[in-house]
């Protein structure tokens, strides 16, 4: 290692990014979609036939394609990932006053969707190896704070029932689901995966989102595939899958002309025109995943010799979609994070830090939490870098 | 009037419909969209530029165009009309435990959105002349059941605050807003228009949705213009308009890279690709309205000589969009409604009855209500008939 490489500098990080990324005169975003497939054809078909809205063949096909790809029994397409989480929680029986365990290191949607049920987020720590919920630390914590009652697992301090845990597969990297599932089973806590970021990510060969009764996907514009705005409820319970469809389509009772609704429902259905986009995008998913893996491989190689910072690679036993590539500063250089963000964004390369930890936000500041020292450390040190599929090449596996 | 016309028969109604409507071998829907404008161009621009999702120029333009057309200070585009109503209620200060007055004769969205706030729908009667809230009957009812307290108007029977009234402009026909506004002012009850069906409908020359601080529009696939799925919050309060945008976009605080959110927000933003459709549709609205008015005129004329049934025309002083054309059976023939629905649908002409009254649905059966005898009578007698703009011709004013 030569002397130039022996000390950390934000400039050296920028240099490496510039060596991997294409030279561009315009701002390079964190993640932009590619529409090189049948998007045009399918969307045009919607316009030509007039089927753009709440009913249409692309919704049915998108749901079937997603169920087949992820291996779940039923997929229900909705307006976005937040709506998908909301319905997962409702169907899992999360009630007002319950607590739902989730990482403090997550996007706001996870916590908001719990709030819509009148339930209370309860924040847990993450681990360095996956960037997601630390199942071992969680198990110890639950041993300390819970007691089993006839109607579930209760937080002895708050007196509230702990109904579910929502691991979020951060930037597409799977949480360590085996020990987490074991903990859930032991404590009678429902596992609901927030797989918003992990379409195309597998844990021990099985798709993320296929490990509990419910999971949520997202197809926001910045995701691996996009429907404009969209999300999906994945479930392995066919009855609850039917109920998810019912609940997301205003709970209307089928009839040739009558308008009857049998419960308070939601208008969460994905429009057909958005599903058309989704069908075309899903066809290209294998190519996107290969290209993103190629890009991640190039980043990994390029950052291998750089001191003070490391490229985050998929956890052992998992295959990640590398949705958002991630650099992690050594603790000693955490103070340089904002300088690095400034320098790279000024240079036209979009980078961003992790989300502000949920327990720091004013509306969740009083929610229960365990020690979150690892999440706090990660928050100080993580930086996402450009990750669009179009930046990777070919279908070569990295 | 000859003997054939002197008695009511469902067959004669079908004959009239067939005389007005084009002969078709396929099923004629109640309302289908027309995409003969710039839909393709604008949607293709989204795909070509990659801007399909949460940010993009069509969202801004659609909001500006809608504000200009309806005359309100700010329009905020969201995923659908239900979401728009939900945000209107939140911003108007509807709290858990409040009551919100609304017609029992409405689509489920009005009542569902109130429920999302933890508030209670309180059902009121409609009037024959507008098919919407009867402001005079409501005023008398409020005199009987309410008392004023320092913090608002209270229902003496339930002890709950009555926070708002939500007139819904049924099938596009404006409610009698002047006396309703007067009643609202007298009792300190907020007027929130459910204008989901009334884009292009004017009351005394001013657009519906522009009479209170808040209103909601819908652009579902069956509406006068469509965005696939979509809705809009209209407001005449600029500060609350900014808050509506904030609340519907996850309450994220603007920053170059940080992710901070300052309240529990919603992921309700309309994707750019749907707004692109909306911009193209809105350009054609004057033509759609003329064609629909032409169709309504032809229906009116054709049904003029038919005994036992009448075509519903816009209330005096209002200009309706004639979103869904409506036949009303005389009370003596109400028992023939289902036979008429059967005969027409079997003949390939889609017709439908009014929505089941809200107070009959199981989840709202215990909500407070006034006498709703007019709504009940209308429910028994109303039938919607095909109303697509493409069935009307030219821009001739009927």
Ordered by start, the domain boundaries in chain B are 3-32+285-391, 39-283
pLDDT for B3 equals: 42
C-alpha distance from B253 to closest chain A C-alpha (Å): 11
* Contact list, B362 vs chain A (CB under 8 Å): 262-263
pLDDT, mean of residues B223-251: 97
Tell me whether residues A228 and B355 touch, CB distance under 8 A: no
* Contact list, A34 vs chain B (CB under 8 Å): 50
Give the count of Cβ contacts less than 8 A between chain A and B.
191
Please report, for residues A85, A230, B45, B125, the alpha-carbon distance to residue A45 in angstroms, rounded to integers and kept in the order given.
30, 19, 17, 43
* Contact list, A44 vs chain B (CB under 8 Å): 40
- Whether B361 shows a pLDDT value over 70: the answer reads yes
Structure confidence at residue B394 as a pLDDT band (50, 70, 90): low
Q: What mean pLDDT value characterizes chain B? A: 95
- Whether B362 shows a pLDDT value over 80: the answer reads yes
pLDDT for A394 equals: 58
pLDDT for A53 equals: 67
| B39-283: CATH topology | 3.40.640
Q: What mean pLDDT value characterizes chain A? A: 95
C-alpha distance from A119 to closest chain B C-alpha (Å): 13
* Contact list, A361 vs chain B (CB under 8 Å): 260-262
Which residue in B107, B274, B361 is closest to A271 by CB distance? B274
Strand-pair category, B231-235 with B214-218: antiparallel
Of the candidates B332, B341, B271, B373, the one whose C-alpha atom is nearest the C-alpha of residue B17 is B341
Where chain A has pLDDT below 70, the residues are 1-5, 53-54, 394-398
pLDDT for B222 equals: 92
Helix or strand or coil: residue B315?
coil
pLDDT for A26 equals: 87
3-state secondary structure chain A: CCHHHCCCCHHHHHHHHHHHCCCCCCCECCCCCCCCCCHHHHHHHHHHHCCCCCCCHHHHHHHHHHHHHHCCCEEEEECCHHHHHHHHHHHCCCCCCCEEEEECCCCHHHHHHHHHCCCEEEEECECCCCCCECHHHHHHHHHHHEEEECCEEEECCCCCEEEEECCECHHHCCCCHHHHHHHHHHHCCEEEEECCCCCCCEECCEECCCCCCEEEEECCCCCCCCCCCCEEEEECCHHHHHHHHHHHECCEECCCCCCEECCCCCECECCHHHHHHHHHHHHCHHHHHHHHHHHHHHHHHHHCCCCCEEECCCCCCEECCCCCEEEEECHHHHHHHHHHHHHHHHCCECCEECCCCHHHCHHHCCCCECCCHHHHHHHHHEEEECCCHHHCCCCCCC
What distance in Å separates the CA atoms of residue B383 and residue B311, rounded to the nearest whole number?
A: 10
pLDDT for B53 equals: 67
* Contact list, A43 vs chain B (CB under 8 Å): 43, 47
* Contact list, A382 vs chain B (CB under 8 Å): none
The ipTM estimated for the assembled molecules is 0.94
pLDDT, mean of residues B64-78: 98
Tell me whether residues B54 and A274 touch, CB distance under 8 A: no
* Contact list, B83 vs chain A (CB under 8 Å): 267
pLDDT for B376 equals: 98
Helix or strand or coil: residue B121?
strand
CA dihedral B173, B177, B179, B180 (to 10 degrees): 100
H or E segment at B337? Answer: helix B337-346
Tell me whether residues A108 and B259 touch, CB distance under 8 A: yes
Tell me whether residues B272 and A228 touch, CB distance under 8 A: yes
Structure confidence at residue B316 as a pLDDT band (50, 70, 90): very high
CATH of A3-35+285-391, one of 3.10.110.10, 3.20.20.60, 3.90.1150.10, 3.40.50.720: 3.90.1150.10
C-alpha distance from A1 to closest chain B C-alpha (Å): 33
Which residue in A33, A112, A345 is closest to B264 by CB distance? A112
Question: CA of B85: which chain A residue's CA is closest?
Answer: A267
* Contact list, A271 vs chain B (CB under 8 Å): 221, 227-229, 274
- Number of residues that this document lists for chain B: 398
Tell me whether residues B272 and A341 touch, CB distance under 8 A: no
What distance in Å separates the CA atoms of residue B369 and residue B359, rounded to the nearest whole number?
A: 8
- Best A36, A38, A50, A263 residue to mutate vs chain B (most B CBs within 10 Å): A50
Percentage above 90 pLDDT, chain B: 92
Helix or strand or coil: residue B188?
coil
Return the CATH architecture of domain B3-32+285-391.
Alpha-Beta Complex (3.90)
E strands in B118-230: 120-124, 146-149, 152-155, 162-165, 190-194, 202-203, 206-207, 214-218
pLDDT for A140 equals: 98
pLDDT for B301 equals: 97
Helix or strand or coil: residue B331?
helix
Which residue in A52, A228, A277 is closest to B33 by CB distance? A52
């Amino acid at each position: 290692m030569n002397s130039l490489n022996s000390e950390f500098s934000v400039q050296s990080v920028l240099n490496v990014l510039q060596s991997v990324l294409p030279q561009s005169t315009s701002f390079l975003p964190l993640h932009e979609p590619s529409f090189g497939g049948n998007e045009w054809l399918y969307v045009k078909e919607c316009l030509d036939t007039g089927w753009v809205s709440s009913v249409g063949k692309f919704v049915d096909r998108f749901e079937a394609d997603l169920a087949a790809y992820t291996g779940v029994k039923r997929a229900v397409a909705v307006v976005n990932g937040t709506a998908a989480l909301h319905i997962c929680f409702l169907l899992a029986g999360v009630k007002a006053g319950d607590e739902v365990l989730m990482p403090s290191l997550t996007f706001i949607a996870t916590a908001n969707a719990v709030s819509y049920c009148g339930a209370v987020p309860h924040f847990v720590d993450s681990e360095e190896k996956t960037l997601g919920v630390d199942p071992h630390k969680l198990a110890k914590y639950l041993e300390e704070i819970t007691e089993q009652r006839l109607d579930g697992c209760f937080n002895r301090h708050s007196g509230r029932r702990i109904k579910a845990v929502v691991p979020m597969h951060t930037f597409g990297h799977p949480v360590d689901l085996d020990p987490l599932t074991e903990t859930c089973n032991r404590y009678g806590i429902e596992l609901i995966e927030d797989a918003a970021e992990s379409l195309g990510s597998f844990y021990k060969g099985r798709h993320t989102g296929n490990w509990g009764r419910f999971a949520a996907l997202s197809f926001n514009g910045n995701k691996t595939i996009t429907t404009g705005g969209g999300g999906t409820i994945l479930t392995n319970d066919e009855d609850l899958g039917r109920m998810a469809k019912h609940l997301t389509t205003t709970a209307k009772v089928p009839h040739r002309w009558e308008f009857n609704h049998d419960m308070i429902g939601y208008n969460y259905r994905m429009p057909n025109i958005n599903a058309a986009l989704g069908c075309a995008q899903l066809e290209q998913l294998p190519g996107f995943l290969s290209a993103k893996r190629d890009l991640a491989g190039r980043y990994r190689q390029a950052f291998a010799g750089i001191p003070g910072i490391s490229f985050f690679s998929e956890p052992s036993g998992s295959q990640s979609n590398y949705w958002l590539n991630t650099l992690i500063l050594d603790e000693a250089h955490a103070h340089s994070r904002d300088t690095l963000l400034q320098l790279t964004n000024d240079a036209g390369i979009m980078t961003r830090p992790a989300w502000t930890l949920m327990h720091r936000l004013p509306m969740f500041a009083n929610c229960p939490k365990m020690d979150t020292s690892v999440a706090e450390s990660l928050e100080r040190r993580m930086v996402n870098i450009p990750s669009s599929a179009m930046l990777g090449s070919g279908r070569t596996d990295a």
